[in-house]
Structure 1
Amino acid sequence: MKTSVKARIAVSVLGLATALTAGAALIPGDRTPSSATAPSRQPAEIPVSAGSLKSAIQALTARLRRLPGDHQAWARLGSAYVQQARLSADPSFYPKAEQALARSAALSPGNFAALTGQASLAAGRHDFAEAVRLAKLSQTANPYGQGAQAVLADAYTQLGRYDEATRAISRMMELRPGVAAFTRASYDAELRGDRTTARRMLEHALDDAFSPDDIAYCRHYLGELALRSGDPRGATEQYRLALKAAPDFTAALAGTARAAALDGRPAEAADLYATVVGRLPLAQYVIEYAEVLVAAGRDPAEQWALLRAQRTLMEAAGVKDDLTWAEFEADHGSPARAVEHAEAEYARNPNVVAADALAWALHRDGRDREALPYARKATATGWRNALFHHHRAEIERSLGRTEESRRSAARARDADPTFSADLPALARFS
């Protein structure tokens, strides 16, 4: 690797480690959506202006200098650090969040704000079982807090406990029907194969949105749904409207890049991804960028090096993410290591995404008979996920199950007529 490339990677890693001073987005406590460093198969954070986070942290820090016994301020500060880690892709803020939330809990044992923040922190670190435990304690302390239900909905989804996730979302609807509840209801419906309801829930969310950030968030997920349905042009229009509402919403720019790549424009996509990764070097975006560079005939080595550096930061901050590395190793590295990661992920979080990752890793490692039961689990909820059905078709074909393979391939085409297995990370964005 050239020295200049090493220097750019060092700068990117330093940016991850110092992102707090630049600011990101502070989300009100009752939204508590999924982590930007968590698996990307559920709604991401609702964006808020960078200045609001910086101002909130400064104000809370100043208040705590004057009133160090204010347990609510400590809880809010801890939650702010959780959001900072999530939206800056910098997990080094999780230890700061842990300290602030522990201080709140020590000052006022059992207070629901600290418990909700700790639950969100556990989810950010991918400890979803612990997130459920803490969110239930928060729910007991305050049965009317929507934040705990949001954590439960997301954590249950990651644990593959879909009926319980649905109940948590229903409770969110009872407490406060709005953007946070409707977007989760949309994803819940999509997991069950009901795209009509999924779209309707997103439209309800958009109707309820009043701030530019909420509008951008809803437009972005309408774009994601369109892209998963094989409509890259329609998706691009939704991303454009998202960026019109909130120009700094990086997820919508990443969606625009993804749509360009899937629409056969890799050079344009690569230029967009350069901006995306420069702003927010999430593992998902880095892998997508590398794949697009390959498709555009360019060298992805710098992105793979950045990905490895990011992995080191995640591990140091206590983030458990075997899913990303299972998928990466299966498609770009060692199938044997992919199996190890996928087995570890599925043991903790037996959801359909982990089942697909394990099935594909086993297939790539030449273990198709072991892979098939997991491929069936991955497609059992009715989710019209073209990649999952493609993986199942390939496993069935390898086992000589010709007719079953044809049916699975047909389901992949029905889910997304534009699907291509040439860019696997882009197909996994859902």
Structure 2
Amino acid sequence: MENEAVDQEQDATARRRLRRRVLVASVAGCAVLGGALALLPSGPGPARPPAPAPGARALSAVTSGVPAALPDLAALIERRERRVRDRPRDAVSWAVLGSAYVEQGRRTARPAYYPKAEKALRASLKVRARNAGALDGMAALANARRDFGAALTWAEAALKADPKRWTAYPQLIDAHTGLGQYKAAERALDRLLKLRSGPAVRATAAAVYRDRGRDEDAAAALSDAAAGARTPAERAAYLERAGQLAFERGDTEVALRHFREAVRLDPDQRAALAGQGRALAALGRTTEAVTAYRAALARQPRPEYALELGELYESLGLGQAARVQYDLLRERAAWAAAAGVDEELVLGRFEADHGDPESAVDRLREEWRRQPGIAVADALGWALHRAGDGEEALKFARRATDRAKGGTVRSALYSYHLGMIERELGREGPARRHLQEALRISPRFSPTLVPRAQEALQELGEPSLEDVPDFEDWSAGE
């Protein structure tokens, strides 16, 4: 009993000590909490800073060389139009307005924006001649119009006015590329990378890497650009470009995922809608492909989308539907030409396969004289082939795939064209190799051309000892 009483007394003492510790801790906790509450404002404060207004977002995008959302662009244009009405000698506002018009025209494929852009940019230059912002905008306008010679002149002028204006370098690079000056484009990229980093620069680098046949580097750069993008519209633009690259490489399912994600992020990403059509057609999902193309054309009526949809209709045996699209192509190209846009490349491609090959040759010869890029070399070579001049066609087709002359793009279409020209000329070994190469690069690059390539390979049969490439063939591929 005595031991039991001792135990009870010890338990009671322990409980008293525990209650004292809990009371002390509670008082201390209340004091800390009270001090913390005393530091808070008495009224409800904002949890985060307010989001920038749409016009401010577009201004940031336009002046920093990144894609902007269409509603934001519209808000920016409205505000700057009011400002230049009130302050007609505000050179900066005129330059911003002109650049916004360029972006709006490019994103919507509405060439009527381009004359407005030129008027605004020239108004800025009239107020202040050495105005790097307006000069940069003029370079972007010239590139949008596919006038690469003018774009080169304006971009160089912008850099002369402000050597550290990094947003002029993507315009300079696009101009060099359009003129077939691929080494100069690489040098310009090197200077840009020393001057600036970030998503927009990575996207520009990706385009140069792709043109030089460095597909893995291009894909990595676009992945980095998309990961670092600050807005949904910017990320969507980089995903669309990643989709294009994946499609060219034959990764059709990957391309479709990129295109769909781009549209999810930015429903106004209309190039991604057309990309969906391209990928779905390659996968044999033609009904969905037609729907995607029609949606893209309704919202961004680019002539090349009409050409692609027309060819898809032809592959389905829907000749009348195809002719409707070809008529639309001619109409849109005429509208673009009236606004100063050069659509000779797409018109030449169209005429070579669906119209008058002689007309295509005339168009593309003039385009080659003005802007001798690899895409023009390929198109001219194919037009010459369709017009019956195989030997000259072979020269241009080889140039489009000749590494020594800049033809380093891994293009299934270019290899297909070269192979078919060689087949027509009786060069069976090279023809077989280049047609096989086209299908290796992208087994589904075209719903109409892939079956023709496969049929041609069956007719060519298995290679023989006579198919060993001669020196001329090897040198053309180096």
Do these two structures clear the TM 0.5 threshold for a shared fold by scoring above it?
Answer: yes
Whether the 8 Å contact between 2:62 and 2:96 is mirrored in structure 1 is no
Distance 1:317 1:241 in 2: 33
Distance 1:129 1:219 in 2: 29
1:240 aligns with 2:260: yes
How much does 1:301 deviate?
Answer: 2.7
Whether the 8 Å contact between 1:266 and 1:293 is mirrored in structure 2 is no
Distance 1:30 1:211 in 2: 13
The residue that corresponds to 1:152 in the other structure is: 172
The residue that corresponds to 1:387 in the other structure is: 413
How much does 1:175 deviate?
Answer: 2.4
The residue that corresponds to 1:86 in the other structure is: 106
- Residue 211 to residue 328, structure 1, CA distance change in 2 (3 Å): same
Deviation string for 1:152-184 (max 9, x for gaps)? 011101101011111222222222222222122
How much does 1:249 deviate?
Answer: 1.2
Whether the 8 Å contact between 1:115 and 1:135 is mirrored in structure 2 is yes
- Residue 319 to residue 247, structure 1, CA distance change in 2 (3 Å): closer
Whether the 8 Å contact between 1:131 and 1:152 is mirrored in structure 2 is yes
Letter in structure 1 aligned against 2:334: T
- Indicate which of 423, 444, 447 corresponds to 1:397: 423
Distance 1:191 1:318 in 2: 26
Letter in structure 2 aligned against 1:60: R
How much does 1:108 deviate?
Answer: 0.7
The residue that corresponds to 2:62 in the other structure is: 28
For residues 61-140 of structure 1, what are the structure 2 equivalents within 5 Å? 61-140=81-160
How much does 1:248 deviate?
Answer: 2.4
The residue that corresponds to 1:172 in the other structure is: 192
Distance 1:67 1:347 in 2: 43
Whether the 8 Å contact between 1:47 and 1:249 is mirrored in structure 2 is no
For residues 25-424 of structure 1, what are the structure 2 equivalents within 5 Å? 27-31=61-65, 47-298=67-318, 299-380=321-402, 381-420=407-446, 422=448
Whether the 8 Å contact between 2:62 and 2:99 is mirrored in structure 1 is no
How much does 1:420 deviate?
Answer: 4.1
Letter in structure 1 aligned against 2:255: A
Deviation string for 1:226-262 (max 9, x for gaps)? 2112121121112222222222211112111110101
- Structure 2: segments with no counterpart, 5+ residues: 1-57, 454-478
Q: Return the index of the structure with the highest Cα Rg.
A: 2
Distance 2:448 2:389 in 1: 22
TM, length-normalised to structure 1: 0.86
Whether the 8 Å contact between 1:321 and 1:345 is mirrored in structure 2 is no
Distance 1:254 1:247 in 2: 12
Deviation string for 1:101-146 (max 9, x for gaps)? 1111111111111111111222222221111111111101111112
- The Cα RMSD (Å) is 1.8
How much does 1:337 deviate?
Answer: 0.6
Distance 1:116 1:331 in 2: 37
How much does 1:29 deviate?
Answer: 3.2
Whether the 8 Å contact between 1:149 and 1:169 is mirrored in structure 2 is yes
How much does 1:185 deviate?
Answer: 1.5
Letter in structure 1 aligned against 2:62: P
Whether the 8 Å contact between 2:312 and 2:448 is mirrored in structure 1 is no
How much does 1:148 deviate?
Answer: 1.2
Letter in structure 1 aligned against 2:256: T
How much does 1:294 deviate?
Answer: 2.4
Distance 1:421 1:375 in 2: 22
Letter in structure 2 aligned against 1:248: D
Moved over 6 A (4+): none
How much does 1:47 deviate?
Answer: 4.3
Deviation string for 1:22-76 (max 9, x for gaps)? xxx8751342xxxxxxxxxxxxxx6432221121111111111221111111111
TM, length-normalised to structure 2: 0.78
- Residue 189 to residue 305, structure 1, CA distance change in 2 (3 Å): same
Distance 2:140 2:242 in 1: 25
Whether the 8 Å contact between 1:270 and 1:296 is mirrored in structure 2 is no
Letter in structure 2 aligned against 1:373: K
Whether the 8 Å contact between 2:143 and 2:171 is mirrored in structure 1 is yes
- Residue 165 to residue 215, structure 1, CA distance change in 2 (3 Å): same
